[in-house]
Structure 1
Amino acid sequence: MTPDLWITLVVLVGAVVLFVSEKLPVDVVALLILGSLLVFGVVSPGEALSGFSSPATITVAAMFVLSAGLQRSGALRGVGELLSRVRWPWLLGLLMMLLVAFTSAFINNTAIVAVFLPLVISAVVARGLSPSKFLIPLSFAAQFGGVCTLIGTSTNLLVDSLARQSGQPGFALFEFASLGLWFVVAGVLYMLVAQRFLLPDLGIPDSGADDHRGRYLVELRVPEKSPVIGRLGSVAIPVDAKDVFLLENFRDGRPLAQPRAEAVAAGDRLLIRGDWNEIERVRRDLQLRHDNVARDLDGDPADARLHAEVMIAPGSPLAGKSLAQLRFGHVYRVRVHGVQRSGTQPRLPLDHIPLAVGDILLVDATASALEDLRSDPGVVLIGQREQPRVDGRRALLSLLVMAAAIGVAVLGWMPIVASSLLGCAALVVLRCLRPEEAYAAVDWRVIILLAGVLPLGIALQKSGGADWVAQHALGWLSGYGPLVTLAAIYLLTALMTEVMSNNAAAVLVVPIAISTAESMGVDAKPFLVAVAFAASTSFATPVGYQTNTMVYTAGGYRFSDFPKIGIPLNLLFWAMAVILIPRYFPF
């Protein structure tokens, strides 16, 4: 054993211990690996820094930015509204997993879960269901879909980069798809069964501290093609709506004599009272609209819209006057979506109600408009939160840019790293993202991790460490044939990725898999596929994969919930991998 081999093995063992113990952040461990190999001369400065210029690292960073364009424009919010309309829990779970699996094949799965997490919670709570029945399936579905394409997860890109560095041919953009679809189908079917029998029902959580609490008086306009048109007022509100009541129906500015006995028509304005969250659900289901008052209140489309609660203060000059008399919307540059008042409820159009001390107005505004309100002594700003919305222009452009970046790579016109970088530039040029938003969208910890651990793969190959580990750790299996070795490599990777970063596990096993294949005289590609799939599907612990960690707290799960549902799924995927990988990637 050469000194370089000893040093590489010591660094390898130290890296495994630090990754598993989590005493240091994974990006710091990656930099320690890089620095150690460089200081001891195992790799050259160029090789040590090659991870920062690796196509895998750059492509992952670019995909973070492309995903942010879709996330910030609200392009996926329509999906959340679709989910909120599904009545049957099994169908809601099925649609959610299929949508998440499909989108995560093209968009970073961590970003997908970040987008879908609040949407799924609001959709299931609106149906009186427990989020704990849906959030683990959300995380797992993102992993199912991520293995279907080269860009679905950073691990796939990393395996491809390591393979190319070792002289292997690498993978095409959709080369994983035919195999990945089997995993998606099997995973979704398993989760539909597990959702009922294995996932805990932890109940419906209380509304968060930033929810709009209390009962609001809201005026909603009935647009053309709304499903409420033609219904009698007595049945206009869905029967499953809790604490939502129709008080009046204004037509041509006048209240109907019997609002509950007459049919709703396009252009009517419905005065509704009830819980805000329930009103919002009814509004989406019936496709009703808040009054936009005037287009000049929209402000810059790039600015985030906020919902805020504004109370009329004692001694306020606003008391006794209506919103119309005050020209409240134009003066303060806000739109009033609801009024909360204790006691007798007025049955007037929203902008004709005389304001009283203690009234709480729920307003839609930009951050700058709220700052002006905050400085007005006549009102008290008592709460605010960002309002989810869809920017149609930016959403369409973001979708087109993402489709173009993937399309030109599929057609072979340019490498995915080039098309994704051009896509990032296009998002900024088209003002779908500001430059600072693009930089903020990149998870630099992942980038540092990738750049820092790639030199370890080079060191394992260069020093002979991969050959040594392959000979001593897997060499005894070679007599049983490549299929048994494939099973061992998949299982080794799956176990490692449950206790350390999936990217780190892939970097450690890929060189070993390549050396094992070379020693057996077989194609390395089946072993590389096994590493990619095993490292990208971690189900048995909440810390084995980023998406699991995201839903762990949000769903209120216990640690034991993950192995109970995840270990059988890991074993299922292991058996499928052993059977299917050689069929699509022969030895």
Structure 2
Amino acid sequence: MITGAYPKAKVPAVLLTTLTSDSWIVIGCVVGALVLFASERIRPEGVSVTVLLTLALTGVVTPGEAFSGFASPAVVTVGAMFIMSAGMVEAGVPAAIAAAIERYGGTRITVVTALLVLVVGGMSAFMNNIAATVILLPAAVSLARAADTGSSRLLMPLAFGSLLGGLMTQIGTPPNLLASEALADAGYQPFGMFDFVPTGAVIFGVGLVYLLTVGRRVLPDRSGPNVTEEVSQTREYLAELLVPSTARIAGQALTTLRWGRRFDVSVAEIIRDGHRLRFPSAHESVFVGDVLLVEGERDAVLRLVEAEDLEFAVEGQAGQTLVDDEMSVVLELVAGPSFGSRGRSLVDIRFRSRLGGLVLGVWRQGTRVRTPIRRLRIRPGDALLVRMPRDRIVDLETSSEFIMLSTRPRVVLPRPRMLLAVAILAIAIGMAATGVAHIAVAGMFGVVLMILCRVLPYDRLYAAVEWRTLILIATLLPLGHAMQSTGLAVLVADTVGDLLRPYGALPVLAGIFLLTALLTQVMSNAGAVVLIAPLALGIAASSGIAPHPVMMMVAIAGSAAFLTPIGHQANILVYNTGAYRFLEFLKLGGPLTLLILITSLVVVPWIWPL
């Protein structure tokens, strides 16, 4: 823990009494960014790049300052943690933990909830929050079904547990790293690797008790779709059609026929001369005598039959091939965070050609989506029912787009590989914690070890990085510097300090916490911390408060994304999967946020003297 006197803050000698043109440009960038973040019309990284270009083109920052964020140690460290988290996943460490939870979790909902929150919190302290949530989500759904309760009883605590767990170490979440770097940039001693443990552990414990007591009464008992329940409903949409000698389509390729675009149906199988061609490619042709297994709405199939002069095959056979057989299997998937807030279509990701699967239906918040699948934009958390060739399941498991919920044989990875991955992560953390190397250097050292030791295949290296997050952080950092260089941060800090100083230090800390927490709901947690950090340091200096407790409050509030399902990717992921309603996040997350604020106001000044 950091002890000793705090150095003087770097404050300009002459405080600005009027806003300069550069200050107005910065204010415009801040307001414009907040509006665009809240509207979700433009991707967050697109907003941050636009802000960066505005500052550079208007001369508020120099070209060197504009792109200095890409050389930021915090950006390098966040990238390194993405890669090392992927190495842990590749080695099977989180999967082994998830399997153990499923095996020994039991059916008592309180015990299962506690176990999930403790495990995801422990994992999130040392790896990416999203990765921890993604790994444990199938286990949570499986445990909910085993306990004969709705998955909504477990999924929101899972997401909230990952956010709470990230508070416990410097590498647990980007806000912790950014708060530490803000201190270093201002001339103060940065936080150490485990300086977050005392406050983070107390807040995590309080959050756990809240989720186990209040949470069990507030959370709804609601489930998303279940494969075994939905198969019978989907079976009516499959039909076997015969291509007669009179059909005009004989000899034409499926890509030429464009049945998906014209009728919104898909060809799942072609039976020709007694042989089954499952999941045919778009370039496959149809011939007289072929029997086509077609998936689509009843009306769509009838329109297809009439338009193309097809005939129904033997009555009673339609839909029988939907169930699992020796060559194919029906699986339940959840769309992952890579689909983004605006979503992507299955055509965009080339689902059929890359993975060879047939999508039988899409569910959002427990309700089947009736929009034609080809035109539907899949969003994170959407549930998909798909029919897959058994030999393509491995491709699906290694895909970054989807999470498999259906029960499947687990791949048992060699134990030495798991131990090696854990050892490399421990070495990197130990180097940073003991001061042997800067945390960014230690992180990159861990990345190199994982590549050299083949824990993470080299071809998975770039896919492991959440580039959008890195771009967002790197392009927003110059905005924080611009707020300081134009004097805007000092002016705002003095104004706020004058208003709050008569009431004491605790209201100042509470105000900073609430402002950061509110911004986190409409923009990324990293963006909120980048924006608030220079203001918080200025307020601390003008109010006579030590900088470290103030920045600890900023870091904690930056992870308090509990009020809306769009506040954090972990929330987005469970929002649709758990069939939650928007206000249910506020119902559980609002009191939790206030509880964390009260706990922080007690614990932070005790550990970090004001």
TM-score (norm 2): 0.68
CA distance in 2, matches of 1:446, 1:476: 35
SS of the residue aligned with 1:361?
coil
Equivalent residue, structure 1, for 2:531: 508
Amino acid aligned to 2:543 = M
Name the aligned partner's letter for residue 560 of structure 2. Answer: T
How far residue 313 of structure 1 moved from its aligned partner, in angstroms, is: 9.7
Query: In structure 1, what is the Cα distance between the partners aligned to 2:148 and 2:224?
Result: 7
CA distance in structure 2 between the aligned counterparts of 1:100 and 1:81, rounded to whole angstroms:
13
**1:110 maps onto 2:75 in alignment:** no
User: Is 1:201 matched up with 2:221?
Assistant: yes
C-alpha distance 211-507 of structure 1, shift in aligned 2 (>3 A): farther
Corresponding residue for 1:360? 325
- Deviation (angstroms), 1:8: 1.5
Q: Aligned pair 1:73/2:38, yes or no?
A: no
Asked if 2 retains the 8 angstrom alpha-carbon contact of 1:453 and 1:507, the reply is yes
Q: 2:182 aligns with which of 158, 162, 176?
A: 162
CA distance in 2, matches of 1:400, 1:208: 41
Task: Give the Cα separation in 1 of the matches to 2:487 and 2:141.
Answer: 50
Question: Within the alignment, does 1:521 sit opposite 2:486 as a pair?
Answer: no
2:411 is equivalent to residue 389 of structure 1? yes
Partner of 1:86: 105
SS of the aligned residue for 1:518 comes to helix
Q: What does residue 14 of structure 1 align with?
A: 32
Counterpart residue number, 1:406: 429
* Corresponding residue SS for 1:147: helix
| 1:51 is aligned to 2:69 | yes
User: Matched residue of 1:92: which SS?
Assistant: helix
Q: Tell me which moved more, 127-136 or 465-474.
A: 465-474
1:136, distance to aligned residue in structure 2 (A): 0.3
Structure 1 pair 93–158 and aligned structure 2 pair: CA distance change class (3 A): same
Partner of 2:79: 61
d(CA) in 1 for partners of 2:496 and 2:553? 17
- Counterpart residue identity of residue 44, structure 2: V
Pairs aligned (count): 440
Alpha-carbon distance in structure 1 between the residues aligned to 2:588 and 2:54: 39
For the pair 1:424 / 2:450, whether they are aligned, the reply is no
From 481, 493, 497, the equivalent of 2:504 is: 481
Contact 2:23 2:486 in 1 (8 A): yes
Q: Distance in 1 between matches of 2:50 and 2:202?
A: 39
Q: How does 1:102-251 map to 2 (within 5 A)?
A: 102-203=122-223, 205-207=225-227
**Rounded Cα–Cα distance in structure 2 between residues aligned with 1:145 and 1:428:** 27
Q: CA deviation at 1:394?
A: 3.0
Q: Deviation of residue 567 (structure 1)? A: 0.4
Measured against aligned partners, the alpha-carbon deviations of 1:75-109 in whole angstroms (never above 9, x if no partner) come to 12222222223222211111111111111111111
Is the 2:540–2:547 contact (alpha carbons within 8 Å) kept by the matching residues of 1? yes
Please tell me whether residue 24 in structure 1 is matched to residue 24 in structure 2. no
Shift of 1:210: 11
Distance 1:96 1:479, change over 3 A: same
Partner amino acid, structure 1, of 2:325 = I
TM (norm. structure 1) is 0.71
Q: Which residue of 2 aligns with 1:461?
A: 484
SS at match of 1:470: helix
Identify the residue that residue 36 of structure 1 maps to in structure 2: 54
Partner Cα separation in structure 2 for residue 414 and residue 135 of structure 1? 38
CA contact 1:77–1:390 (8 Å) conserved in 2 = no
C-alpha distance in structure 2 between counterparts of 1:138 and 1:212, whole Å: 30
Structure 1 residues 477-509: Cα deviation after superposition (integer angstroms, max 9, x where no partner): 112121111111111111111222211111111
Mapped partners of 1:381, 1:471: distance in 2: 62
SS of the residue corresponding to residue 360 of structure 1 reads: coil
> Which amino acid in structure 1 is aligned with residue 475 of structure 2?
G
1:299-314 alignment, distance < 5 Å: none
Answer whether contact 1:132 1:555 (CA < 8 A) is retained: yes
Instruction: Report the alpha carbon displacement of residue 381 of structure 1 after superposing the two structures with TM.
Output: 7.9
TM-fit CA distance, 1:415: 1.4
Q: Does the C-alpha gap of structure 1 residues 550 and 476 become closer, same or farther in structure 2, counting only changes over 3 Å?
A: same
Task: Report SS of the residue matched to 1:560.
Answer: helix
CA deviations on 1:93-147 (whole Å, 9 max, x unpaired) are 1111111111111111111111111222123223333211000000000111101
- Specify the code of the residue in structure 2 equivalent to 1:390: V
Unaligned ranges ≥5, structure 2: 1-18, 234-267, 277-322, 330-352, 357-386, 398-408
- How big is the shift at 1:150? 0.6
Larger radius of gyration: 1
SS at match of 2:112: helix
Which residue number in structure 2 is paired with residue 348 of structure 1? Answer: none
Letter in 2 for 1:482: A
Structure 1 stretch 163-172 or stretch 173-182: which is displaced more? 163-172
Aligned pairs for 1:288-327 within 5 A: none
Identical-pair percentage = 38
SS of aligned partner of 1:76: helix
Q: 2:518 is matched with which residue?
A: 495
